Structure 1
Amino acid sequence: MTASVSGRSDPVVRRITTGDIAEALTQGLRDFQAQPLFGLAFGLIYVLGGISIVLCVTAFGMVYLAYPLAAGFALIGPFVAIGLYEVSRRRELGQPMSYGAIWRTVTSRGEIAWMAFVTVFFFVIWMYQVRLLIALLLGLNASFSSFKEFMTVVLTTNEGLLFLAIGNLDGAALSLILFSLTVVSFPLLLERDVDFVTAMITSVRAVVTSPGPMIGWAAIITVLLIVSALPYFLGLLVTVPVLGHATWHLYRRIVAPA
């Protein structure tokens, strides 16, 4: 083991397989079934966030930003799910459940605020890049009266197809980087007294140690979130808590006990 930024030993990262992912998903579903009200409450935050995005861009006449905003909103998912990690942790330890106890635990971990800043920073970068691509490829003063008009331009013009290709590749790269930085960091900061830099390094080490299963996990999260968001975001009520609980159990398989 190596020394962390704070002088303590770094957490030990273990290799995982696709079987571990399947088991984590099963355990995540069990946690949701055992504590459905907590899961639905945190899932509702995600649903309301998605609906609010659509309503806001519609009100400001910027419906064409609905897709990139919704995609960017997924970037801050690990922070939103931290309450779910705490529910799984408390259930694992047999501790009492209450929204107040969960809130106090989460807010008492000062380093979590820094990780939240990292996720928001990536979201801001993503939106700036989207606006830059629109200006460069679709016109500096590009504006669309409806989402349908925007999609027509994107899907039927060379500039639009180039925008779609570069935007999706750029979004995939940002998502993979942020996933690598956060997939283990938030659960680790919730459980142990480590600094956020050590948490991010540990998270990246987890991805590098098991690249195939971890990238597969990222793909599962992406596909499930997209499919769940299609029916007016309502599918996220179930998908978000199950994925959140599963992430905690996957973390338990990746990082060896202290």
Structure 2
Amino acid sequence: MSTQRLHDLSRCCVHTITTKPWDIDTAVQRYAQEGIKGITVWRDALAGRDIQQTGRMVRDQGLEIVSLCRGGFFPHTTASGRQKAIDDNLRAIEEASQLGAPMIVLVCGADPAQPLEVSRQQIYEGIAAVLPQAASAQVKLAIEPLHPVYADTRSAISTLAQANDMAQLLGSPWVGVAVDVYHLWWDPALQTEIARCGRNGHLFAFHVCDWRVPTRHLLLDRGLMGEGCIPIRQIREWVEDAGFTGFHEVEIFSDEYWAQDQQVFLRQIKQAYLQHV
């Protein structure tokens, strides 16, 4: 049975990219003031900062750091390109460790100059290359499958089945998957594959937003929960039936919302979360 629905913000997490116009200091302060309990930090928000000090600042405000976004982008047609990606992911692991983030979300990447199968093999090899350091740092790696419209450059992993297969093949408790409703709501095998995540113990993250109808931009027009066609509550039930007890992470890329007053937007996020997640 699903866990009882919580009509509060105790499991609500907001990504810093969701309120992109705010720097991390402002985001942390405003999230805490509005009763948000979790934060996922995007790496751009850490540029030029003392990462350990930033982590302490976040925790001092009463926020739990859920994850660091993002690692990945492993595939390249050249060996030097693949090594550059591995080096960047090793830096991301170090950043997560310094920040106090228990997990990195992997947007795995793809190279349109080669077959998707080759990119998937390079993703496997890239994760395997950084896995020892991730395990040593006790930082989990969450493979995030993306909607097939992003298979050209953003991810050769398009279905939860592919992510599950890769996590199983890697065979480490430090590798799992992130379920993002925006990317996976369309998949007829979604319930089955979420249950498989639970059986294998590698359901690491759950991201929410909505798919607007019509969608005006495939990257920068995500909707607030409840203003689109994604059955968010249904998917949440499947996730919790699979044993997930973590945060529900609000991740919205939207030129429209970024152009608005971010304090108003944050309050809209709270309302949408309480009503539709």
Which range, TM-score by smaller chain?
A: under 0.3
TM-score, with length taken from structure 2: 0.25
TM-score, with length taken from structure 1: 0.26
Q: Which has the higher helix share?
A: 1
Q: Kindly indicate whether structure 1 or structure 2 has the higher relative contact order, using CA contacts under 8 Å at least 6 residues apart.
A: 1
